[in-house]
Chain A
Amino acid sequence: MSETSYSVLGVFETPDALMQAIPKVRASQLGTVEAYTPYAIHGIEEALGLRRSPLGGMVLVMGILGAITALGFQYWISAVDYPIITGGKGAGSWEAFIPIMFEVTVLFATFTAGLGMLFLLNKLPFFGHPVLSSKSIKGITRDRYVLALEAEDEAFDSEAATRTLRDAGAIEVEALPAPDRSPFLTSDYILRTLGGIFAACVVAGLAMYFATKWFPLLKPMANMQDQPRLNAQKPSTFFKDGHGMQQPVPGTVARGYLPTATGTQEEAAALVNPLPRTREVFATGRKAYTNRCEVCHGAVGNGVGSLTAAYGAKPANLQAQQFRDYPDGKIYWAIVNGKNSMPSHAPYLSEPERWAVVHYVRALQRAQNAKDEDLKVATR
């Protein structure tokens, strides 16, 4: 037994022998008593006087923390940062968060239990413990039960410890040197690690370079990319004529565009304006007239619009007696089909808008030729 002994191991053959030896060895008060066994022995915590494992409390705290984290995270995302209404519930309805809360609680709790046990409480991994390089370790992890007296200070008396263990019934005794607690992160180790990382980066970089150089760009999931759809500036592969959009069948009538004024203007004279003379209709008519008619026919319909001079044409003076005598249908016909230099406005004005314009033109005509009675009506 050399002076540098750190601990003394006594080997026992049965758990009973081990348990009976513990009180005797503890009574010697030579050092810390520790047991090494192939599996957990019942009642050994009390015999060795170990404190209760604090793991339960740690797991409880971390589990609650997991639940709060999950609830807070989900609430902040779903109600604050990116509110989504799902299934008609409010953005802050929390009931649907419960499954993920449960999973995160379990995740936090289990990782605290597993990793907390390994890293925090048992301080593993630790490869430098003298027991690991002892002769007894083969027995410890197989079928031997070992009691150790470990030094608490410099004054550890390993010979007395050996005697105590022998007296307690150990069949073998072994003295161990102090544990190797040399720092893990030596400069040599750091240098080699960094070198290894650098070499790995170089290899990975070269591999990527040649992989992309030698292999052409493969398109994964090709039929998700190349669907039979119309691509911009490309002919359609679906229709024979290569057009993406096909002409409607001849005679197709769009909704709201019933052909009502296809004959001559004289034939259209019989048409009756279907719209009532309401404030909304006049507003629609005024807007459509301002947008489409005013530049030529003028704000009051007198044929002097802002474009008249530049255009060199002579738009109809709608205030003229000829047009004041027109039935509604003939004005409508002119809007739909155009007349002389005037183009058709059918593509720009919907059916109700055309009739609304007719109403508005009538209103302009009446306003420009107002009688005293009209004034009385207006000012009443």
Chain B
Amino acid sequence: MKLDAATSAGDIPEGLVEPSLYVGKVTAGSLDDQVLAFPETKPPRQWYFALAITLTAALIGVISIGYTFYLGIGAWGNTSPVFWAFDIINFVFWVGIGHAGTLISAILFLFRKRWRNAIARFAEAMTIFAVICAVIFPLIHVGRPWLAYWLFPYPNQRALWTNFRSPLLWDVFAVNTYFSVSAMFWYLGLIPDIASMRDRTTSQLRKVIYTVLAMGWRGAATHWQHYEKAYLLLAGLATGLVLSVHSVVSFDFATSVVPGWHMTIFPPYFVAGAIFAGFAMVVMVLVVVRETMQLKNLITMRHLDVMNKVILAMSCIMGYSYMMEGFTAWYSMNEYLHHAFMNIITGTYGWAGWVTISCNILIPQILWFKKARTSYFWMVLVAIGVTIGMWFERFVIIVISLHQDFLPSAWRIYKPTMVDFGVLLGTFGIFFTLVLLFARVLPVIATTEVKAILPDAQPSHHGDDHHV
């Protein structure tokens, strides 16, 4: 939001001038009327219809989780030697989805990518919802969720402490930090927007709620000064954090000795995969949002085009990572690693390996064409493909590596149960329910940030340009 809008003046060569970030005439006032009016209008019938679907899915998840609580983890397909199965696959999958939001809100902010302003709010919200879905799994996976607080190091009558040299404990710290920092980042961004909603609403109840949530924000220059500083610092810190979180998740695997897990490439490979899956989810949701909420003038084809370019770049990184996995398996001359890799392409679960490779590497290559990058059909196809592919990638890493490790007498084929699928469906239901609710009650576009990049939003002569 502090990005300089006045740079499109004559001193930049033709061709380097950024194309407009919105379509048609947009002013600060029209922006408010378009975006902030949403929560005040009655939701259309389609919204209730969509909510009914997502709530049904969420209900199936709640029933599946309830059955798991009633019967125990035996309700799931996890069994020796595949003790980590759907629960950890889904955990890694959902945490990964969240990474796109932080990337857009923090890393692209530091890179001064102004196109992020219009989509940052939605992506950040998706981060928080995805992490909520993710934490459900390890909580149940521990077997006795009501004792999950034992994960935290606190003085207790058992005179025990947690093991700080375990990557699983690092995960506890990383995911909790990630969730609290993302939530705060999101809320700080919302405060000025909620203040705008507070000052335009006519409903008494909404006024009270927004007043409390906005904390009495009044847009004072002294406040903005600290706010901007805080936002910059948070962006810098969240950048390091987002890279660390999925690295720590990958340590759960990389620090073990299981062939197929014990690899140094895992941290960067996991981070790239997380961003990849997250962007696909953001594209999928944004297509629906811009169509149904009439935001085509603010979330333009250009936004989707740039997002698709990121997806393409990440797809290439994933392809490189897969090749490196194969190269390492061959070059290490380690028969166990070799066997683990061959299992991915020719084993019992070889089909899963090929689903991963085709969905993550082959299908996204269509995005090299601008026509595909700006076509709903292709971008949604790629986004759905990437979501499926990235889920299967975690399946490949976890189940294929575990089901055949060093001890052939312990090898066994893993089969998920209906409860496993029910919980997975349920988290999709919870995620999209939260997305739908968010779209109706809070501003889906950070109006304050977009206002700051409109033409003439900044004074034409404001001295040196060292502001952030």
Identify the A interface with B (CB < 8 A).
14-16, 18-19, 34-46, 48, 50, 53, 55-56, 59, 73-74, 77-78, 81-82, 84, 86-87, 89, 93, 96-97, 99-100, 102-104, 106-107, 109-111, 113-118, 121-122, 124-129, 131-132, 137-138, 140-143, 218, 220-225
The 8 closest A-B pairs by CB, nearest first: A43-B462, A143-B28, A125-B215, A117-B230, A223-B72, A35-B221, A96-B165, A86-B165
Q: Is the CB of A50 within 8 A of B225?
A: yes
Whether A103 touches B71, Cβ cut-off 8 Å, given contacts A15-B456, A113-B234, A122-B227, is no
Interface residues of B in 146-163 (CB under 8 A from A): 146, 153, 159-163
Q: Is the CB of B230 within 8 A of A114?
A: yes
Interface residues of B in 181-228 (CB under 8 A from A): 181, 184-185, 188, 192, 195-196, 198-200, 211-212, 215-228
Whether A224 touches B219, Cβ cut-off 8 Å, given contacts A40-B228, A82-B160, A96-B165, is no
Q: Is the CB of B237 within 8 A of A109?
A: yes
Residues of chain B within 8 A of A127, CB atoms compared: 211, 216
> Interface majority SS on B: helix, strand, loop or mixed?
helix
New A-B contacts (13) at CB < 8 Å, excluding given A40-B225, A99-B251, A223-B72: A15-B457, A39-B451, A42-B462, A100-B169, A104-B173, A104-B177, A113-B233, A114-B184, A114-B234, A122-B222, A140-B219, A142-B29, A143-B32
Whether A41 touches B221, Cβ cut-off 8 Å, given contacts A16-B460, A96-B165, is yes
Residues of chain B within 8 A of A97, CB atoms compared: 164-165
Residues of chain A within 8 A of B465, CB atoms compared: 42
Q: Is the CB of B222 within 8 A of A50?
A: yes
Residues of chain B within 8 A of A86, CB atoms compared: 163, 165-166
Query: Would you call B393 an interface residue if the criterion is a C-beta within 8 Å of the partner chain's C-beta atoms?
Result: no
Q: Is the CB of B452 within 8 A of A122?
A: no
Q: How many B residues, CB 8 Å from partner?
A: 85
Say how far B420's CB is from chain A's closest CB, in angstroms: 16
Q: Is the CB of A99 within 8 A of B196?
A: no
Q: Is the CB of B146 within 8 A of A220?
A: yes
Q: Is the CB of A110 within 8 A of B184?
A: yes
Q: How far is the CA of A132 from the CA of B216 in the complex (A)?
A: 7
Q: Is the CB of B221 within 8 A of A224?
A: no
Residues of chain B within 8 A of A107, CB atoms compared: 177, 180-181
Q: How far is the CA of A225 from the CA of B227 in the complex (A)?
A: 53
Interface residues of B in 164-178 (CB under 8 A from A): 164-167, 169-170, 173-174, 177
Whether A39 touches B196, Cβ cut-off 8 Å, given contacts A55-B226, A110-B238, A221-B72, is no
Residues of chain A within 8 A of B221, CB atoms compared: 34-37, 41, 44-45, 48, 50
Q: Is the CB of B451 within 8 A of A143?
A: yes
Q: Is the CB of B164 within 8 A of A38?
A: no
Please tell me which stretch of B78-86, B240-248, B300-308, B314-322 contacts chain A, meaning at least 4 of its Cβ atoms lie within 8 angstroms of it: B240-248
Say how far A48's CB is from chain B's closest CB, in angstroms: 6
Q: Is the CB of A99 within 8 A of B1?
A: no
Q: How far is the CA of A3 from the CA of B224 in the complex (A)?
A: 30
